[in-house]
Every structure is written in structure tokens, then in C-alpha cells.
Chain A
Amino acid sequence: MSNQEWPLWEIFIRSKAGLDHKHVGSLHAADAQMAIEMARDVYTRRMEGISIWAVESVNIHASNPDDAESFYEPSNDKIYRHPTFYDLPDELTHM
């Protein structure tokens, strides 16, 4: 018997048609098919979704928290990048 762990998968669920798949958690599975079946059992038992994506976690590349300062802080003082300087007519709603 090998003690090798099954790979980790990230699970994304679409709650209803038209909405995005949202990350709901992760699980261990031997392959993609097993990952989807297990996601069905673990994450959709309370009618949470109508579609499942499974992505092997090793295929997700993340930014490094150590880079936060140089990545995100420079945008803090550049509020002119937000489209908040337009005068909108009153009739326009949902903006």
C-alpha cells in the first residue's frame, strides 16, 4: 500500500443559471471524476447548486501575500480610477 495522499481539488459551484461559479471549498480525490462526484455529495446536498467545477489545486497559481504592499497599496490613493466623478441623471438607477 502506498501512503500517497490523493491530490487536492478546489470546488466551484454555480448556484443557479446565469450566476458565476463560486469557490466553496476543497477536497481530496483520486481524479477529476471522483472530485466531481464527491463535490456533489459534500457541497450540493442542501440544494446549493446546479453545476460543479473541480480544479486540481496545483493548477491554481496565487499571488504572494508578501507582495501585498507593492501589489495593492499603490491603488489606495488613486481614487480617480473609480468612475465616481460623473454626475448621473436622477432617472438613472441601479448604477
Chain B
Amino acid sequence: MTNDKIQYILQLADNSLIHGHRLSEWCGHGPILEVDMALTNIALDNIGAARSFYQYAAELEGQCKTEDSYPYERDILEFRNVLLLELPNGEFSDTLMKCFFFDAFQFHFYTALQKSTDERIASIATKSLKEVTYHLRFSSEWVIRLGDGTAESKQKMQAAIADFWTYTGELFDASAAEKAMMSEGVAVDPASLRPLWEKTIADTFEEATLSYPIQKDGAWFQKGGKTGIHTEYIGFILAEMQYMQKSYPGLEW
């Protein structure tokens, strides 16, 4: 039971960490200085949320675990983030679309998670919701600007939708730990967020004059991250993120 809770918390933490890490890669590479700072601010918000979850997981697990044990000492198969977030950043348009899909999910997810029966999780959700509200505003504004922008920007946004669409389905699949925690009222049923997410996507894409695949029951989606089956890309992320701890175990600074 505790184990399921830890797994559930780690799943949430891993999503925020990997998303934050990918966004941090934009540092110094943003299209303009202001957007560079916005992306790194959002990266830090996500890494901050990940820390809150990792700290809680470490307290529950005990056994000398710390918040750093999870990001630095686990291997690929133990990470539980959705595949969408580990995909490469691509161009600015690609990163934005990835952010938009995830921010829209996180917004509805944290809104619902505030009612978690676990007070600690509920309070992290309340704090994170304020941040995510801004993230969603940032990404959806840019989706609208670029979607309803020039022919070139529209084409790039349309291409980004095509690239990432099949990775959105996994957000709504419940993992085993998630199902166990749903029955206790700790977790949110991700499938219940789908109509809300679709509405946010539909409204924004309509304003952005972008088209997207019509949702069909039983449509095929990429999945695996929630069960530890990842794309090749996460290996490169962990190689960079864990290099120092693998070379010098226990190093502190």
C-alpha cells in the first residue's frame, strides 16, 4: 500500500523532473532573451515540484533515502514519466507544443489533485497549480500566436501536433500504482480528465486556427513510460543528469 503510494508520487515527480530537465536545456538557446528566461523559469517550477514530491517519497520510504536518491540513483526502467516529456526539444515550435499538451493536462490534473485524501499531496497540488496556470497561459498564448501567425509558423505548429499527438494518450492511462491510489482517493483518475483536456485543446486550437486529429475510441497511442518502458532518449537525459553521481558516488557540494 505504501509502496503504491511511493510509486504514484514518483510517477508525478518524474514527469515534472524530466519536463523541467528538457526545458532547462533551452537555457541560453531561447529565440529571444525574454523567452529564454520564461522557459528556464518554467523549468525551475517543474524541478521545484519534482523536489516536493521526491522529498515526500523519501520520507515515506525511509531507509536513508533523500530527495536526491530518486533522480540520481535510479536507472531507466525505474523512471515513470510519460514518453511525451522525454522526447527531444526539437525547434521552439516543437517544445511549445509539447509544453502545451502537458500544461493543459497538468492544469486539470492539479485542480483535481487538490482534493486528494493525502494532505501532503493535496498541498503540493495547490502550490503547483498556481505555477501551472501560468505555464498553460504561456504555452497556449504562443500556440495561438504561431498557429495564427505566418504560413511558416503555422506549418511548424501543425507539424509539431502531428509529431506529438500519438504521445498524448498515455497521460490518461492509469498505471497499477495509480489505480491502487485512486481507490483510496489519493490519486486522480486520469481518464476523467480527458474531456477537460480535450476542451482546452479544442478551444485553443480553434483560436490558433490549427487542426488536430479527431479523437476516436480505441485510437492507438504510444505508451510505456508509466511502466518503465522508455524511448531511447531518456538514456541520454540520465547520462547527463547522473554523470556526476555515477562518477563520484555520494559527492556533495
| Cβ-based interface call for A33 (8 A) | yes
Closest to A27 in B: B34
- Give chain B nearest CB distance to A29 CB in angstroms: 7
Contact with A along B22-45 (1 / 0, CB 8 A): 000000000011110110010000
Q: Is the CB of A37 within 8 A of B41?
A: no
- Give chain B nearest CB distance to A10 CB in angstroms: 14
CB-CB < 8 A to A29: which residues of B? 34
Closest to B153 in A: A1
Q: Is the CB of A42 within 8 A of B141?
A: no
CB-CB < 8 A to A40: which residues of B? 134
- Give chain B nearest CB distance to A84 CB in angstroms: 46
| Cβ-based interface call for A34 (8 A) | yes
Partner of B34, one of A1, A28, A33: A28
| Cβ-based interface call for A32 (8 A) | no
Known interface pairs A33-B141, A37-B138. Does A28 touch B37 (Cβ–Cβ under 8 Å)? no
Q: Is the CB of B152 within 8 A of A42?
A: no
Q: Is the CB of B145 within 8 A of A41?
A: no
A13 to B141, CA, bound (A): 22
| Cβ-based interface call for A38 (8 A) | yes
Q: Is the CB of B41 within 8 A of A41?
A: yes
CB-CB < 8 A to B150: which residues of A? 1
Q: Is the CB of A45 within 8 A of B34?
A: no
Q: Is the CB of B145 within 8 A of A42?
A: no
Q: How many residues of A contact B (CB 8 A)?
A: 13
Contact with B along A30-48 (1 / 0, CB 8 A): 1001100110111001000
CB-CB < 8 A to A28: which residues of B? 32, 34
CB-CB < 8 A to B138: which residues of A? 37
Q: Is the CB of A41 within 8 A of B141?
A: no
CB-CB < 8 A to A1: which residues of B? 150, 152
A29 to B33, CA, bound (A): 11
Known interface pairs A28-B32, A28-B34. Does A45 touch B141 (Cβ–Cβ under 8 Å)? no
A28 to B37, CA, bound (A): 13
- Give chain A nearest CB distance to B67 CB in angstroms: 23
CB-CB < 8 A to A41: which residues of B? 34, 37-38, 41
- Give chain B nearest CB distance to A56 CB in angstroms: 15
Q: Is the CB of B145 within 8 A of A38?
A: no
A37 to B137, CA, bound (A): 9
A38 to B37, CA, bound (A): 9
Chain B CB within 10 Å — which of A37, A38, A41 has the most?
A: A41
- Give chain B nearest CB distance to A3 CB in angstroms: 13
Closest to B32 in A: A28
Q: Is the CB of A34 within 8 A of B141?
A: yes
- A-B pairs with beta carbons under 8 Å apart, 28 shown: A1-B150, A1-B152, A27-B33, A27-B34, A28-B32, A28-B34, A29-B34, A30-B145, A33-B141, A34-B141, A34-B145, A37-B38, A37-B137, A37-B138, A37-B141, A38-B34, A38-B35, A38-B38, A40-B134, A41-B34, A41-B37, A41-B38, A41-B41, A42-B33, A42-B34, A42-B37, A45-B37, A45-B41
